[in-house]
Every structure is written in structure tokens, then in C-alpha cells.
Structure 1
Amino acid sequence: MEILNNFSQIVVESPVDKIIRQIRDLITSGQLKAGDRLPSERKLSEKLGVGRTHLREALQKLEFYGILKTRPQSGTVVAGMGIPALEGLITDMLGLQGRDFKSLVETRVILETNIAQLAAENRSDSDIIEIENALNAHRIKIERNEDAVEEDLLFHLKVAEASKNSVLNSLMLIITPDIMQYFKKHNVCGEVKAELVIDQHEQLLQSIIERNPDQAGGVIREHLRDISEYVKTLKNGTKLDSDGSLIT
């Protein structure tokens, strides 16, 4: 057993991590400087040998943290901060890839409660249509007994868009995909009745239609209660590695 303790787990980096790490290395080596413009997404994805989805996710994360900036008619450029600051930020970002799942869920509850309340206050008629379409797509997958995790995610992201708060929306885009990936890998959603999920989504939509922020906040807290209870059963220190596997 003592010999086994000398070994450490092999962590396989995701394509997004590798893109972020490569950009960090280019910045710290001086090959990328403040104000330098990145190639187009098409050219970058071809050069890196990755799909545009992975590339876009990496660039969005770098832009959210202020490491990259998108300027009209100039494309995506490196931010004008010092190399130590840029390197530190990117290192912190890469560290977030091994997130504490319990903290992710707790953060989601806080975010979505505020998002639901703001959506009820700020939503437009077009937002209602978008949320209804996402709800219907989710319902169809459930009725067909097909995997519906992505449709579930889309519903929540449409509610976030209706909040008209770009920061909350960005935070949802950052943390929610990792949570959903964990759900799929460990079948967390299998413990929750699909009919109940749809019913709660319908209640949330109705609260938003009626512009009732208190009710919307209450519905989303109840909707996420089972997941909040689930994370309490996880051992202290339970984490996700970079490919979504459980580390105990």
C-alpha cells in the first residue's frame, strides 16, 4: 500500500485546456504580446487540429477573464496587461478545470436563483418564445425516452439570456456545462423523475411569463433542491478531473 501511495493519478487534459495552455506559453515566451491579433477561428482550428467548438470555448474563457479582447474590425487581441498577470490568470483558469463539484452546484443555485428573478423582471416576448421552444425540445426528448441533458441545459441558458445580465449569463456558460457533463457521466439525473423536471420547468416559465420574481426564485430553488441534497452525500474533497471523472 505504501508503494501505491507513491503513484499519482494521470490527468488527461481536455482540448480546451491544451489550447489555453498553448496560448499561455506563447504569451510567457513573448511570441504573443499585448495588442497582437489572433488568427481567425477557421485558421486557428485548422492549425491546432481541433474543432471550432473547443477553440471557441477556450477563447470565450480567455476573453471572460480579460486575457483576450474582441475589438470591432480588429478581431481578437491579447489584453494590454503585464506578462506575470496574464500568466497568473491563465494558471488560475487551468486550475479551475479540477473543480470541486459541490462548490459548482452551490454556485449554480445562487446564480440561477438570481437569474430566474431577473428573468421574471426583464424578459421580453421573444425571450418567452425561446424558453418555450427549449422546454418543448426537452419534453420531446423525455417522451422519446432519449438522453435530454443538453436540452435541459439549453432551457436554463435561455432563462439566463432572459435575465438581461451579461455577467450572470457568462458565469452560467462557464460552470453549467461542467455540471451537466458530470450528470451524464454519473447518471445523477437518473435519480430525478423526468416528469417532475418538466413540471418544474413549466412552473418556472409561468412565473417568468407572469413577471413574478419571488415565485420564480422559489421554483428554481425547489428545482435544484435534489441536486443540492445529492452533493451533500459526496465525500469531502470529491472533485472532477479534467475529463469529468470523479476523483475521491
Structure 2
Amino acid sequence: MPFQKIQSEKLSHSVVDQIERLILRGILRPGERLPSERELAERMGVSRPSLREAIAELQNSGLLTSKAGAGIYVSEALGSAFSSALVQLFGRHDEAFFDYVAFRRDMESMAAERAAEYGSDVDREVINQLFLKMEAAHTKRNPTEEAALDAEFHLSIIEASHNSVMLHMMRAMYELLREGVFYNRQIMFKQRVTRDTLLEQHRAINEAIQARDPIAAKAATVAHLDYVESSLFEKERADKNEAIAKQRLEQELRR
């Protein structure tokens, strides 16, 4: 008969399961430090030997890493879905940029649609609070701060979509953006007209999600990323034209 005696689950297995779920759901992020062994054991209500056994298992599976004298961290490798060779290839070819924006447009419009439909009250409050921070930062004219909040705003929408595969995929995509592989986000926040337009686009996305309107949320996200693509294309063309003009000027001065 295909039946076996039921055995109570080891505490370490329960610890492993809980930490795995926290990582899967994006609550524990790549590179994030776990609490100390004593604090973590107290929070989870387990003995330190059981916790150590669980941590060792998670380290063997590559989900956690230890740093001498610094503690236990969520593996930073979980935040990267691309090899370094592929990342360098992306950076050398313009066509990868347009593919990147197209991918973001497809994924983020779907995420906004899902966030409006499935996001909880807490999800929507997180999104709204980030938008309010964007409004406040807008008056400071700090491109670095605005770019960082822009990323957080979009990632909060992806989190509110409650799709773990989409969450981890898009976090990896945003990591490429943070590293400037495709373009420098701060460029978008250096011109007043562009900054104003971007704020209003984010407002439209936020309002649609707060109103639980999936269709409007999706449309607002598509419009926003269409604008990002066209703006950066125009910036790239202007930079190339400027470079050519400088060459002509240098040649003229030599004559």
C-alpha cells in the first residue's frame, strides 16, 4: 500500500519554508541582511540549533550567503537574470534599448492592470505614498532622488500585481537600468518640461490604480513608456547631431 507513517515536520524545515517564501514574494530582497541569529531565532520561535540547520540548508541551495564578520545575506545573485557577457552585449547595441523598453511596456502595463484589479488596500497605499514622495521631490530638482523614486514607484506596482515570476524578472530588469546598461535614468529628470510631463504621467497611473480601474492603469502605463522611449530616442538623435556639428566646427577652425 502506498501509505507511510506521518512524521511531524522538523522545525528547521519550517524555517527554510518561511524564508524561501519571503524571498519568493520579494519581501526579502537580494543583498538584504538577515537579523542576527539570536534575534531571528526569537522572532521565529525556534532554537538556535534548528535555525543554524535551516540557514545551512539555504546557503547550500544558494539562496543565502554569509559574509565574514557581517552576517547572513540574501544572495545578490538572485537579483540578476543575465550573465555579465550578455549585459555587456546589451550595452553595446542600440537595438537592445528599444527591445528593453518594449519589454517593460508589455510587462509593466500588465502589472498595472493586475495591481488595479488584485492589489490590496495596503498595496495601493504603498504606491500612493511613493507617488506623494515623487511630488515632494519634484520641487527639489534633484535628478538622482527623482530617478530613484521613479524606480521604487514602478517596482511597487509590480509587487502589487502579486505575480512572483514577474516580480523577480522585473527586479532584474531594473537592476540593469540602475547600472546604466540601457540609459541613464537621471537624464529624464534634468529638463523641466520632461520632469513635469513625467510627474503627470505617474499621477495618471497612480489615480487609475487607486480607483481600481485596470483598463485606465494599463493605458496610462503604456502612454508613459511610449513617452520615455520617444524622449530618449530624440535625446540620442540630438546628441549624435551635436557630435557631428562639433566635428564640423573643429574642421572649420582649422581652415
Give TM-score scaled by structure 1 length: 0.58
Aligned residue-pair number: 168
**Cα 1:39–1:107 shift into 2, 3 Å:** closer
What amino acid sits opposite 2:115 in the alignment? A
Report 1:71-82 matches (<5 A): none
Distance in structure 1 (CA, Å) of the matches to 2:112 and 2:63: 38
Distance in structure 1 (CA, Å) of the matches to 2:63 and 2:207: 45
Max Rg structure: 2
Asked if residue 93 in structure 1 is aligned to residue 83 in structure 2, the reply is yes
3-state SS of 2:67 partner: helix
Q: Deviations along 1:61-87, whole A, 9 cap, x unmatched?
A: 3xxx6xxxxxxxxxxxxxxxxxxxxxx
Distance in structure 1 (CA, Å) of the matches to 2:210 and 2:233: 33
How far residue 232 of structure 1 moved from its aligned partner, in angstroms, is 4.8
Distance in structure 2 (CA, Å) of the matches to 1:185 and 1:120: 26
The answer for the alignment partner of 1:221 in structure 2 is: 222
How far residue 37 of structure 1 moved from its aligned partner, in angstroms, is 5.0
- Decide whether the 8 Å contact of 1:120 with 1:211 is kept in 2: yes
Unpaired segments of 5 or more residues in structure 1?
Answer: 1-15, 17-34, 66-91, 236-248
The answer for the alignment partner of 1:157 in structure 2 is: 155
What amino acid sits opposite 1:187 in the alignment? I
Asked if residue 190 in structure 1 is aligned to residue 184 in structure 2, the reply is no
Distance in structure 2 (CA, Å) of the matches to 1:45 and 1:174: 28
Distance in structure 1 (CA, Å) of the matches to 2:202 and 2:209: 11
The answer for the alignment partner of 1:175 in structure 2 is: 173
Unpaired segments of 5 or more residues in structure 2?
Answer: 1-29, 31-58, 91-95, 238-255
Q: Deviations along 1:155-181, whole A, 9 cap, x unmatched?
A: 001111111111111111011232244
What amino acid sits opposite 2:65 in the alignment? E
Greater share of residues in helix: 2
Asked if residue 110 in structure 1 is aligned to residue 106 in structure 2, the reply is yes
- Decide whether the 8 Å contact of 2:109 with 2:222 is kept in 1: yes
Distance in structure 1 (CA, Å) of the matches to 2:185 and 2:217: 29
Asked if residue 200 in structure 1 is aligned to residue 219 in structure 2, the reply is no
The answer for the alignment partner of 1:240 in structure 2 is: none
**Cα 1:179–1:119 shift into 2, 3 Å:** same
The answer for the alignment partner of 1:89 in structure 2 is: none
Distance in structure 2 (CA, Å) of the matches to 1:37 and 1:123: 31
Distance in structure 2 (CA, Å) of the matches to 1:223 and 1:149: 15
- Decide whether the 8 Å contact of 1:108 with 1:176 is kept in 2: no
- By relative contact order (CA 8 Å, sep 6+), the higher-ranking structure is 1
**Cα 1:226–1:44 shift into 2, 3 Å:** farther
3-state SS of 1:144 partner: coil
Identical columns (%): 22
